[in-house]
Amino acid sequence: MTIIERARPEDAAALLTHLNRVGGETDNLTFGKNEFPASLEAEAAWLRERARSETSAHFVAREDGRIVGEAGLDALPRRMAHRAELGISVLRSHWGRGIGGRLLAAAVDFGRTHGIEMIELQVRSDNERAIGLYRKFGFERIGVYPGFFKLAGRYVDFDLMLLDLRGGGPAQKDPAEPQPLPLRAE
């Protein structure tokens, strides 16, 4: 049975183990195997901060006491405090079991009930499985970031996606083909 719950400071070592493992299982993350850039002390402090935060949270998926997935919702500062960034990772062995959806639901519910009006994320443009999950939750593609990653000399584009919790998100003419928002200078 998989349990989804808020991460605690005492999860720091297990969370770092998870992140350093999952980084080697996919090229969808900003880090590879054993490249997650945090010490045990820094990770524990970061989790303590998230546990006290009213607008940011970190969730873990546990099976038999072991972390098999995680999701972070991080509120932005100052004039962007109505927005939060989302990140999710699940061990490859647990893909297709609904864990990512449950983590996403926990993060979205937290944002919705804690004053977050917009949740944003970046996802590889060729990661159709993740994009499909995000769309099920109401995320819409608002643009493309060309060359977001460079892997083995090859540029990889990312979709920029947004979930507007205010109730009137970006208009789409055809839900099967999200339309990017026009850029405006102010």
Instruction: Report in angstroms the alpha-carbon separations of 44 from 10, 32, 58, 70.
Output: 7, 21, 12, 15
Q: Which two tokens stand for residue 118?
A: 């917009």
Across the chain, which has 186 residues, the per-10-residue mean pLDDT values are 94 94 88 80 93 94 95 95 96 94 96 96 96 96 95 95 80 45 45
Q: What is the pLDDT of residue 132?
A: 96
Q: What is the pLDDT of residue 184?
A: 42
Q: What is the CA radius of gyration of the chain?
A: 17
Given a contact cutoff of 8 angstroms between Cβ atoms, the answer to whether 56 and 92 are in contact is no
**Calculated CA dihedral for residues 171, 173, 175, 179, nearest 10 degrees:** -70
DSSP state of 48: H
Q: What is the pLDDT of residue 168?
A: 56
Given a contact cutoff of 8 angstroms between Cβ atoms, the answer to whether 44 and 9 are in contact is yes
Q: What is the pLDDT of residue 167?
A: 76
CA 168 to chain CA centroid, Å, is 22
Q: What is the pLDDT of residue 37?
A: 78
* Residues in contact with 35: Cβ distance below 8 Å, sequence separation at least 6, in sequence order: 20, 23
Instruction: Report in angstroms the alpha-carbon separations of 86 from 69, 136, 171, 177, 185.
Output: 14, 15, 22, 22, 26
**50 by DSSP, 3-state: which?**
helix
Q: Note the pTM of the prediction, 2 decimals.
A: 0.85
Q: What is the pLDDT of residue 186?
A: 40
Query: Which of 60, 161, 58, 155 is CA-nearest to residue 118?
Result: 161
